[in-house]
């Protein structure tokens, strides 16, 4: 990695750390109990991807609502199509604004890319927003659930220090498939959580950084964090395209 790439990575990680700290401050101020999906996973992922894209965080509730509708396979196609239309219209408006007043963000880069049509710009913006928000939020919540359901494993991850990236890779390996597996402490190996070859996820480094920073920070800030309901009472996202939990009630 060259010095420029390293500097950008460190700057991004610093920004993620600040976002995570802000939302943990809000959780601490509000006090328990809390839903980690709404208080932790969703707002952190939404703010991080929003700042990269140049989407105002104040609009996050709207695109979260539409994204949830879009991914719900139990809903009528008409409702999902309407949510897709609202998201696309919102991003078209953002892109029009960026063409006139470009900034240092991804949407500005798309909006001023002369080789892309307006439709292509909107589709790419939609992909970046949804893929960079929903998937990471679900992994944060599902990872927290897996650790909270196993206090011994939670303690290991909280105290791992520099070995946290290995734990993140293990969570990525086994969580999309089943809810049990080996302790997340073995050396990372090749896996398909982010695809492979030319089909690798563009946001894999961002997602890894968010998980690696946010989960240990949560566990350190709230050392007495625990589930507020039995693990079997946590509602799973079996009705959604991407797996996770609908809610994660916790207290401390």
Angle, alpha carbons 213-218-219 (nearest 5°): 110
Percent of the chain clearing pLDDT 90 (strictly above): 51
Instruction: Look over the chain and give the mean of its residue pLDDT values, rounded to a whole number.
Output: 84
Place of tokens 């961002």: 206
When divided into structural domains, the chain yields a total of 1
Helices (H), the chain: 3-30, 36, 42-53, 60-71, 77-100, 106-111, 118-131, 134-148, 151-158, 164-174, 204-221
Encode pLDDT of 133-148 as tens digits. 888 898 899 999 989 9
Residue partners of 123: CB distance under 8 A and separation at least 6: none
Place of tokens 């470009």: 102
Encode pLDDT of 185-230 as tens digits. 555 555 555 555 655 656 678 888 898 899 999 999 999 999 999 9
- Predicted pLDDT at 177: 44
* Spatial distance between the Cα atoms of 184 and 168, rounded to a whole number of angstroms: 8
Encode pLDDT of 101-158 as tens digits. 999 999 999 999 989 999 999 999 998 888 778 888 988 999 999 899 988 888 887 8
- Predicted pLDDT at 241: 75
- Predicted pLDDT at 176: 62
* Spatial distance between the Cα atoms of 84 and 88, rounded to a whole number of angstroms: 6
pLDDT for residue 236 is more than 60? yes
Q: Residue 120's domain spans which residues? A: 3-251
Residue partners of 167: CB distance under 8 A and separation at least 6: 156, 157, 160, 184, 185
- Predicted pLDDT at 68: 85
Least confidently predicted of 91-95, 102-106, 130-134, 161-165: 161-165
Query: Cα-flanking dihedrals φ and ψ of residue 151, to 5°?
Result: -55, -35
- Predicted pLDDT at 179: 40
Work out the average pLDDT over 64-72.
87
pLDDT for residue 34 is more than 90? yes
CATH of the domain at 181: 1.10.630.10
């Amino acid at each position: 990695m060259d010095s420029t790439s390293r500097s950008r990575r460190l700057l991004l990680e610093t920004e993620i750390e600040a976002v995570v700290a802000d939302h943990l401050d809000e959780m601490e101020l509000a006090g328990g109990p809390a839903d980690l999906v709404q208080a932790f996973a969703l707002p952190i992922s939404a703010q991080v991807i929003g700042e990269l894209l140049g989407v105002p965080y104040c609009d996050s509730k709207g695109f979260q609502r539409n994204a949830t509708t879009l991914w719900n396979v139990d809903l009528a196609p008409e409702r999902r199509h309407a949510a897709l239309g609202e998201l696309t219209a919102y991003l078209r408006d953002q892109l029009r604004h960026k063409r006139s007043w470009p900034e240092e963000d991804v949407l500005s880069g798309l909006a001023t890319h002369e080789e892309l049509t307006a439709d292509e710009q909107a589709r790419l913006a939609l992909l970046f927003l949804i893929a960079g928000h929903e998937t990471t939020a679900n992994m944060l919540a599902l990872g927290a659930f897996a650790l909270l359901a196993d206090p011994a494993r939670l303690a290991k991850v909280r105290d791992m220090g520099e070995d946290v990236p290995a734990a993140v890779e293990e969570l990525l390996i086994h969580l999309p498939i089943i809810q049990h597996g080996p302790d997340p402490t073995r050396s990372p190996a090749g896996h398909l959580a982010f695809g492979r070859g030319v089909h690798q996820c563009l946001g894999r480094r961002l997602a890894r950084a968010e998980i690696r920073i946010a989960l240990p920070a949560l566990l350190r800030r709230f050392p007495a964090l625990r589930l507020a309901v039995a693990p079997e009472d946590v509602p799973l996202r079996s009705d959604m395209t991407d797996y996770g939990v609908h809610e994660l009630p916790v207290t401390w």
